[in-house]
Amino acid sequence: MRAIKEMPTATAKKGVQRLLGTIYYLAKFVPSMSAVTEPIRKLLKEHEFIWTHEQQQAFEILKDIITKNPVLSFYDVSKPVKVSCDASQCGLGAMLIQDNKPVAYATRSLTDAESRYANIERELLGVLFGLERFNDYTYGKHINVESDHKPLEMIVRKSLGCAPP
């Protein structure tokens, strides 16, 4: 963890790629990773590399989050499982929960096309992402899926014959 705490700021796109690769390796221990890394990821899309205060602030937040001790519970096969999913303009997040405690986190950024989806489509994509990412934990089990998007709940509760095409 000392290496991450003392990590220097990136000076080129290659450094940003190395930084993000290191951070995403630890993503399952960190909630909301894609939202925090958004300012840094922007540097990969831009033609000119300019590290601003916005990137430095995100970098310091990331180092702080990663170097704190993660508070994850151990997965227990015998206990019920809940997958909590969310989506934003820039990313998807999911959390595997048992006994109201996080077991694992998952996060990813949206592609340019996905970021233009309607909100309900992004939220459903977040649910799909969470279920796929935690498939090893949820396969063959009855699970609860949690989302903060009420319209999505109404669509999922309808029978397949009544759902829109």
Give 23-40 pLDDT, tens digit per residue: 776 666 666 777 888 888
Q: In percent, how much of the chain has pLDDT > 90? A: 36
pLDDT for the residue 116? 93
Q: What mean pLDDT comes out for the span 146-163? A: 76
**CATH code: domain of residue 63:** 3.30.70.270
Kindly indicate the confidence band of residue 164, based on its pLDDT and cuts at 50, 70 and 90: low
What integer is the mean pLDDT of 100-124?
91
Q: How confident is residue 22, by pLDDT bands cut at 50, 70 and 90?
A: confident
Residue 28 lies in a domain: yes
Is residue 45 a part of any domain in this protein? yes
Q: Which CATH number belongs to the domain containing residue 152 in this structure?
A: 3.10.20.370
Are 59 and 118 within one domain?
A: no
Pairwise pLDDT comparison (26 vs 60), residue with the higher score:
60
- Do 85 and 154 reside in the same domain of the chain? yes
What is the pLDDT, as a whole number, of residue 154? 75
pTM value is 0.65
User: Is 26 among the domain residues?
Assistant: yes
Across the range 116-142, mean pLDDT stands at 93
Query: What's the 3-state SS for the chain?
Result: CHHHHCCCCCCCHHHHHHHHHHHHHCHHHCCCHHHHHHHHHHHHHCCCCCCCHHHHHHHHHHHHHHHCCCCCCCCCCCCCEEEEEEECCCEEEEEEEECCEEEEEEEEECCHHHHCCCHHHHHHHHHHHHHHHCHHHHCCCCEEEEECCHHHHHHHHCCCCCCCC
Q: Mean pLDDT, the chain, as a whole number?
A: 85
Indicate if 117 and 59 belong to the same structural domain. Answer: no
Task: Write out the residue range of the structural domain in which residue 13 sits.
Answer: 1-68
Establish if 74 belongs to a structural domain.
no
pLDDT band per the 50, 70, 90 thresholds, residue 163 = low
34 in the same domain as 87: no
Q: What is the pLDDT of residue 78?
A: 93
64 in the same domain as 111: no
* pLDDT of res. 153: 76
Residue 75 lies in a domain: no
| Domain count along the chain | 2
